[in-house]
């Protein structure tokens, strides 16, 4: 009978008739150690036990290989053979519809996570220090390979962005642990290991060699398949799968965390490609470089960002701030709303007064900006990017914003809205009642006395709104750093 043999960096699979037999290679790769028969036996039994959680009718057991002397010399995982042409990866490559299969995979994965083991030992692997250690181990392993194909500069940038994200997100990861999101998951969710059968998908080949690498945030587990789908050239399917997973798991994670986990999974895959390159695979070097680029794009896209949108009254900052928050899924905070909230006023209640009088005097203004930035700091620490709509006419308040961005390891982008005086005057005379109480006199004084803002990017708001938004988006997310999808949730404005 014809036998097919398939090989990975850690195993050899023999396809014979209706069965597949997996042999663990006697290797020690640092992150896995199969160098002894006993270690391989334990890994085989663990693989069967774990994979039966999602595919009980596929994993049949462990077979012992007997040598000429009658002694057991090796062990094989025995599986029901799956049809190659029904691999999710194969279907995606030829453009077959897989939306419903992905929906089912998302449901199964969410179900696995809902029932999965939890506990202090598992929780520790979801904290920022454990994640930092995982990244660091991967960097060390890649740098330790002779002739690693990833450029040192790219590797350095990935390391900087990944560790920077972790540095500012302690409160986010503490909340993830407290809410029970760290689970004993799959750990290695790839499209090549999912088979789309007529009676539903079978999810195979979970990670068994190091349980700590399987103790992950549920989002981290899901992000591996999203990364793999994007790698296969199907970003729409990647986004669809993440939406489905969120639907079934009920997990309202911030966008930045999705991108971080996709980047982590891409870099793990790049590390494996580097290992294959070292074993003589001529295509693996190209794969490693492309996967590293994918990781880098997601780290840029997932950088937590503080956006200041400023300018004098009627400069268009409120319209632009709202449009940015809508498009990017950022949280929008408005100084006018917070000012009236602190004064115990309804947001639309008029508090009109002379310049720098009433609730617009220096003391009220100082409290308003302090509260604005305090709320922003909490959100940034939770991984939520924020748009702050305020005049930003005081250099001290701008400096406070810079400090907040620094403390939360966040990017900061300052946008200064500008417009010709006659257009601003026309806007003030025709706009409907809103949060702001500024009139033409106050607007003129603020425009004349606003100090230079050299760090801000000027946005002329006299052009059509779509052009204004496009220029602002390019400033916040330069086109060359964009990924082809961006998981979004509606923006929120507390209070």
- pLDDT, tens digit, 9 for 90 and up, residues 192-226: 999 999 999 999 999 888 888 899 999 999 999 99
Segment 388-417 mean pLDDT: 96
Do 246 and 292 lie in one domain? The reply is yes
Do 332 and 469 lie in one domain? The reply is yes
Do 18 and 152 lie in one domain? The reply is no
State the CATH number of the domain containing residue 354. Answer: 3.40.50.300
* Per-residue pLDDT tens over the stretch 308-365: 999 988 788 999 999 999 999 999 999 989 988 898 887 666 656 656 656 678 899 9
Do 296 and 384 lie in one domain? The reply is no
Q: Any idea which residue has 């969410």 for tokens?
A: 110
pTM of the model: 0.85
Residue 152 is assigned to a structural domain of this protein? yes
pLDDT bin (cut points 50, 70, 90) of residue 478 is: confident
Question: Would you state the structure tokens that stand for residue 106, as one six-digit string?
Answer: 């998302």
Segment 49-60 mean pLDDT: 95
C-alpha distances in Å from residue 11, one per residue of 3, 44, 77, 80, 117: 16, 11, 11, 17, 27
Last residue of a domain, one of 80, 100, 120: 80
Last residue of a domain, one of 301, 330, 345: 301
Q: What percent of the chain has pLDDT over 70?
A: 89
The H or E element containing residue 379 is helix 362-381
Minimum mean pLDDT among 99-113, 354-368, 441-455: which range?
Answer: 441-455
Residue 253 is assigned to a structural domain of this protein? yes
Q: Is 90 exceeded by the pLDDT of residue 435? A: no
Range of the domain at 42: 3-80
pLDDT at position 489: 47
pLDDT at position 260: 96
Pick the residue with more confidence: 245 or 345? 245
Do 268 and 338 lie in one domain? The reply is no
pLDDT at position 433: 56
What φ, ψ does residue 60 adopt, rounded to 5°?
-90, -25
pLDDT bin (cut points 50, 70, 90) of residue 493 is: very low
The size of the chain, in residues, is: 495
pLDDT at position 425: 66
Residue 366 is assigned to a structural domain of this protein? yes
3-state DSSP assignment of residue 54? coil
State the CATH number of the domain containing residue 234. Answer: 3.90.1200.10
Residue 36 is assigned to a structural domain of this protein? yes
Do 64 and 136 lie in one domain? The reply is no
Q: Which residues, at least 6 apart from 136, have a Cβ–Cβ distance to it below 8 Å?
A: none
What φ, ψ does residue 368 adopt, rounded to 5°?
-65, -50
pLDDT at position 482: 67
Do 58 and 88 lie in one domain? The reply is no
Do 357 and 426 lie in one domain? The reply is yes
> Within 10 A of 283 (CB to CB), how many other CB atoms are there?
10
pLDDT at position 215: 95
Residue 486 is assigned to a structural domain of this protein? no
State the CATH number of the domain containing residue 65. Answer: 3.30.200
Q: Any idea which residue has 């190091």 for tokens?
A: 210
Mean residue pLDDT of the chain comes to 89
Residue 71 is assigned to a structural domain of this protein? yes
Do 297 and 228 lie in one domain? The reply is yes
Do 67 and 167 lie in one domain? The reply is no
Q: Is 80 exceeded by the pLDDT of residue 188? A: yes
Q: At what angle do helices 362-381 and 170-178 cross, to 10 degrees?
A: 60
CA angle 405, 182, 491 (to 5 degrees): 45
pLDDT at position 446: 65
Last residue of a domain, one of 52, 80, 108: 80
Do 327 and 273 lie in one domain? The reply is no
Residue 487 is assigned to a structural domain of this protein? no
Query: Which residue, among 182, 174, 181, has the nearest Cα to 382 in the 3D structure?
Result: 174
Q: Is 50 exceeded by the pLDDT of residue 495? A: no
Q: How many distinct structural domains can be found in the chain?
A: 3
Query: Which residue, among 186, 204, 189, has the nearest Cα to 57 in the 3D structure?
Result: 204
pLDDT bin (cut points 50, 70, 90) of residue 490 is: very low
Segment 372-379 mean pLDDT: 98
Residue 491 is assigned to a structural domain of this protein? no
d(CA 9, CA 12): 8
d(CA 291, CA 200): 30
d(CA 281, CA 279): 6
pLDDT at position 492: 39
Do 212 and 341 lie in one domain? The reply is no
């Amino acid at each position: 009978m014809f036998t097919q043999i398939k090989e990975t960096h850690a195993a050899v699979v023999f396809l014979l008739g209706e069965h597949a037999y997996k042999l663990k290679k006697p290797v020690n790769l640092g992150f896995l150690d199969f160098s002894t028969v006993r270690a391989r036996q334990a890994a085989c039994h663990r693989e069967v036990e774990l994979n039966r959680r999602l595919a009980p009718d596929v994993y049949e057991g462990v077979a012992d290989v007997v040598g000429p002397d009658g002694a057991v010399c090796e062990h094989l995982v025995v599986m029901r053979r799956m049809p190659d042409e029904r691999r999710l990866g194969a279907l995606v490559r030829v453009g077959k519809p897989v939306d419903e299969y992905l929906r089912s995979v998302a449901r199964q994965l969410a179900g696995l996570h809902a029932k999965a083991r939890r506990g202090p030992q598992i929780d520790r692997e979801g904290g920022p220090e454990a994640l930092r250690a995982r990244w660091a181990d991967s960097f060390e392993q890649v740098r330790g390979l002779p002739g690693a194909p990833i450029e040192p500069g790219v590797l350095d940038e990935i390391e900087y962005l990944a560790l920077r994200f972790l540095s500012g997100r302690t409160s986010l990861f503490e909340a993830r642990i407290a809410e029970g999101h760290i689970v004993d998951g799959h750990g290695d969710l790839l499209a090549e290991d999912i088979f789309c059968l007529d009676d539903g998908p079978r999810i195979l080949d979970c990670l068994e060699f190091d349980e700590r690498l399987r103790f992950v945030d549920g989002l981290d587990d899901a992000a591996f398949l999203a990364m793999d789908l994007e790698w296969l050239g199907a970003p729409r399917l990647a986004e669809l799968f993440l939406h489905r997973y969120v639907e079934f798991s009920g997990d309202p994670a911030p966008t930045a965390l999705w991108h971080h986990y996709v980047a982590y999974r891409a870099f793990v895959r790049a590390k494996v490609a580097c290992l294959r390159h070292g074993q003589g695979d001529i295509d693996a070097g190209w794969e490693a470089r492309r996967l590293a680029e994918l990781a880098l794009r997601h780290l840029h896209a997932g950088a937590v960002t503080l956006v200041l949108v400023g300018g004098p009254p009627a400069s268009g900052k409120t319209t632009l701030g709202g449009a940015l928050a809508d498009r990017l899924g950022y949280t929008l905070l408005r100084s006018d709303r917070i000012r009236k909230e602190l004064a115990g006023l309804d947001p639309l209640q008029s508090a009109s007064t002379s310049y720098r009088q009433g609730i617009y005097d220096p003391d009220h203004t100082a409290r308003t900006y302090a509260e604005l930035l305090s709320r922003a700091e909490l959100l940034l620490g939770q991984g939520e990017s924020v748009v702050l709509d305020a005049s930003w006419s005081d250099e001290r308040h701008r400096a406070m914003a810079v400090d907040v961005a620094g403390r939360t390891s966040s990017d900061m982008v300052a946008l200064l809205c500008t417009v010709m005086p006659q257009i601003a005057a026309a806007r003030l005379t025709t706009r409907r009642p809103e949060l702001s109480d500024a009139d033409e006199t106050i607007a003129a004084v603020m425009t004349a006395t606003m100090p230079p803002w050299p760090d801000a990017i000027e946005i002329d708001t006299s052009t059509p709104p779509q052009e204004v938004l496009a220029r602002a988006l390019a400033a916040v997310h330069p086109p060359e750093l964009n990924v082809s999808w961006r998981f979004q949730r509606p923006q929120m404005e507390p209070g």
